[in-house]
Amino acid sequence: MRLGVLDVGSNTVHLLVVDAHPGARPLPAHSHKAELRLAELLDEDGAIGPEGVDRLVATVADALQAAEDKGCEDVLPFATSAVREASNADQVLARVREETGIDLAVLSGAEEARLTFLAARRWFGWSSGRLLVLDIGGGSLEIAYGMDEEPDAAVSLPLGAGRLTAGWLPGDPPDPAEVKALRRHVRARIARSVGEFTRLGRPDHVVATSKTFKQLARIAGAARSTEGLYVQRVLTRKSLEEWVPKLAAMTTEQRGGLPGVSEGRAAQLLAGALVAEGAMDLFGVEELEICPWALREGVILRRLDHLPTKEQAALGG
């Protein structure tokens, strides 16, 4: 069957269309993406303003049309931290429902972490042992750890690259004092959660998902995306520590000229790098591997897990 997963994130609204059935690897068929940066559109009261809501409704409608055009039998719509934490979330969701017919499921931070962990586990398999999974979004940082498909520990922290850039780094290039203050804030916030994970033992494999980690790995020398999903891509703490001061000294335009860095994400790259560096340092991670699958794939996999297999259908299960 052909499924669409509609991800209303803090940076983008992304429709991923896949061909999938239970027990098989979902095959990407189409991707439709629009940058909204909802995390940066919150007003002083933490609400998504009228212009932001208008843009969100129009973008969701466009994505639904794309899903119909591509023959999707069903669309799995969800929203993450920007909508979840908006003070007018109920009104925003009602407006989207009224004008598009879509009920956006608002995932909690813990659900985000668990579904991303599921995707990473399925990608790397059981032989990867105990996994530590890090994911930096526009609004939050998700961390999950475990041996099975359901993590033993999962947290979501308000340390997304878009959120931190808007709140802490107004300058271009940023003021060194503001970079130092953000670094201190990030590490203090992550440190509160470290004990919850370290008591479970050292992971056998550390992996990271998200555009931020992919771009950091790329500028540090990892293979470009055109070389395919199955090329191993790693990011070392040493290379990240070398890049952070370079990124801090660059303007947004200069960061946008780095290999693999998109113009729309260039402004957020420094904040994302500070979060990545802090997480790797505080968790004692020297090297991590980039996972091609993340939250959207986790949502699809969870849905497929609840569909009957051909054998179950034949037996009336």
> What residue type is 210 in one-letter code?
S
Residue appearing with tokens 């947290």: 155
Element counts in the chain: helices (H) and strands (E): 12, 11
**What pTM was estimated for this model as a whole?**
0.93
- Report the candidate in 271, 262, 39, 37 with the shortest Cα–Cα distance to residue 173: 271
Which residue, 138, 202, 201, is CA-closest to 165?
Answer: 138
Domains of the chain: 2-106 (3.30.420.40), 109-297 (3.30.420.150)
Exposed / middle / buried, residue 24 (Cβ in 10 Å: 0-12, 13-18, 19+): exposed
> Read out DSSP for 20-79?
--TTS--EEEEEEEEE--GGGSB-TTSPBPHHHHHHHHHHHHHHHHHHHHTT-SEEEEEE
Please state, in angstroms and rounded to a whole number, the distance separating the CA atoms of residues 15 and 4. Answer: 6
- pLDDT tens for each residue of the chain, 317 residues long: 999 999 999 889 999 999 988 888 899 999 999 988 887 777 888 899 998 999 999 999 999 999 999 999 999 999 999 899 999 999 999 999 999 999 999 999 999 999 999 999 999 999 999 999 999 999 999 999 999 999 999 999 999 999 999 999 999 999 999 999 999 999 999 999 999 999 999 999 999 999 999 999 999 999 999 999 899 999 999 999 999 999 999 999 999 999 999 888 999 999 999 999 999 999 999 999 999 999 999 999 999 998 765 544 443 44
Q: In which element (H, E) is residue 291 found? A: none
d(CA 41, CA 5): 23
What pLDDT is attached to residue 40? 74
Tokens 């095959």 correspond to what residue? 27
pLDDT for 36 equals 87
Place of tokens 């986790």: 298
Which residue stretches of 101-236 are H helix? 109-124, 161-168, 176-198, 211-219
CA-closest candidate to residue 182, choices 254, 285, 275, 283: 275
pLDDT of residue 309: 56
